[in-house]
Amino acid sequence: MDISAILLIATFVVGYCAITLEHTIHLNKAASALVTGTLCWTIFILSEGDKHSVAQMLQHHMGELSGILFFLLGAMVVVELIDAHDGFEIITSRIRTTSKRSLLWLLALLSFLLSSLLDNLTTTIVIITLLRKLIADREERLLFVGLTVIAANAGGAWSPMGDVTTTMLWIGGQISVVPTVTTLILPSLVCLLIPTWILASHLHGEFSTPSRSGDGPFSSSLFERNAVFVLGLGTLLAVPIFKSLTHLPPFMGMLFGLGVLWVATEMIHSHKDEAEKGLLSVNHAIRKIDTPSILFFLGILLAISSLQSTQVLAKLAAWLDTAVGDTVVVGLLVGFISAFVDNVPLVAAAQGMYPLSRYPMDDFFWQFLAYCAGTGGSALVVGSAAGVAAMGMEQVSFFWYLKRISLLAIAGYLSGAAVYLLLRTLFG
Of 130-134, 256-260, 413-417, give the lowest mean pLDDT range: 130-134
89 domain-assigned? yes
Residue 206's φ and ψ, nearest 5 degrees, are -120, 160
**Rounded to a whole number, what is the distance in angstroms from the first to the last CA of the chain?**
41
Write down the pLDDT at residue 1: 62
pLDDT band at 400 (very low <50, low <70, confident <90, very high): very high
401 domain-assigned? no
Provide the 8-state DSSP code for 99.
B
328 domain-assigned? no
Q: How far apart are CA 32 and CA 194, in angstroms?
A: 34
269 domain-assigned? yes
331 domain-assigned? no
> Is residue 200's pLDDT more than 90?
yes
Q: How far apart are CA 200 and CA 226, in angstroms?
A: 33
pLDDT in tens, 348-373: 767 767 778 888 888 888 999 999 98
| Residue type at 30 in one-letter notation | A
Write down the pLDDT at residue 219: 64
Instruction: Give the residue from 288, 358, 308 showing the smallest Cα distance to 76.
Output: 288
Domain count, the chain: 1
pLDDT band at 257 (very low <50, low <70, confident <90, very high): very high
pLDDT in tens, 33-54: 899 999 999 999 998 888 899 9
Instruction: Give the residue from 87, 81, 154, 84 showing the smallest Cα distance to 123.
Output: 154
8 domain-assigned? no
Q: Which domain holds residue 130?
A: 67-170+204-290
259 domain-assigned? yes
Alpha helices (H) along 118-221: 120-134, 138-157, 164-171, 177-201
Between 132 and 240, the higher pLDDT residue: 132
| Residue type at 315 in one-letter notation | K
CB 369 within 8 A of CB 347: yes
> Is residue 324's pLDDT more than 80?
no
335 domain-assigned? no
